Amino acid sequence: MDVKDGRTVKGVNFVNLRDAGDPVELAAAYALNGADELVFLDISASEEKRKTLADMVYRVAEQINIPFTVGGGIASVEDVDILLKNGADKVSINSSAVKNPGLINELAAKFGSQCIVVAIDAKQIDGQWKVHLVGGKVPTDIDLFDWAKEVAQRGAGEILFTSMDHDGTKNGFANNALATISTSVNIPVIASGGAGKIPHFVDTFVSGKADAALAASIFHFKEIEINALKKALHSQQIPIRL
């Protein structure tokens, strides 16, 4: 769930956002309807909003009994400490990790790799996958696959890879890039960006070699029902928690 100003939003290719509801209410509904984990990304995070985000995390933790990850504007041990104490199971860092790679090592040493997720937003530029920062607004020259290997070596527990080219398009995940990442690191890789129908999930687990798949709008706007998706994956011999 992308969160902006206390509301869940969803766009296409990281732009043209539309409202998708209250994040706490959605979280409770998803936990009830079979989601395995939830991810909240505050896409407008700033220092002033830190207390607001911590309050949301506390209210979510009161409502659900499944793990959830929180990200957006996290740049220090103190930021992580606040969110974990308010009930988050994991934290996700992105731009701050690129700007200060040693932060990954520091957080993994302090809190354990199991709760440190490094999110990577990337898109293809002239045929090369390049990492982008600040909610996809700032391009870098950093190669996606080199960065994925580095974050794993530095102690990240999971990688959340979002293809900006596929985000919100509902045309399927970036499976070639996912497979390249998955075969080059020894930590779980979460696929994000592009889910539109059930076969897309099958493809990302088989062809993309993803360990988990994240989706937003198809669930927010009730285009696919979570339990129906899980049963379909199970029927394809894909390991899934029913």
Please, what are the averages of pLDDT over each run of 10 residues along the chain (242 residues)? Answer: 78 58 89 94 62 86 96 91 96 95 98 97 95 86 98 98 90 97 98 95 97 91 93 95 88
pLDDT at 10: 61
Residues in the chain: 242
For tokens 């969110």, the residue is 83
Following DSSP, what letter does each residue of the chain receive, concatenated? -EEETTEEEEEETTEEEEEEE-HHHHHHHHHHTT-S-EEEEETT--GGGHHHHHHHHHHHHHH--S-EEEESS--SHHHHHHHHHTT-SEEEE-HHHHH-THHHHHHHHHH-GGGEEEEEEEEEETTEEEEEETTTTEEEEEEHHHHHHHHHHTT-SEEEEEETTTTTT-S---HHHHHHHHTT-SS-EEEES---SHHHHHHHHHTS--SEEE--HHHHTTSS-HHHHHHHHHHTT-----
**Predicted model pTM:** 0.91
Task: Please pick, among 2, 79, 167, 203, the residue that the annotation labels catalytic.
Answer: 2
For tokens 């909003």, the residue is 49
Does the annotation count 42 as an active-site position? no
pLDDT at 13: 54
pLDDT at 180: 98
Does the annotation count 143 as an active-site position? no
Task: Please pick, among 19, 36, 55, 121, the residue that the annotation labels catalytic.
Answer: 121
pLDDT at 11: 58
Residues forming a β-bridge with 18:
10
Which residues are CB-contacts of 76 (< 8 A; sequence separation ≥ 6)? 103
What is the CB neighbour count within 10 angstroms for residue 1? 23
Amino acid symbol at 22: D
pLDDT at 47: 45
Which CATH number is 2-235's, of 3.90.850.10, 3.40.640.10, 3.20.20.70, 3.40.190.10?
3.20.20.70
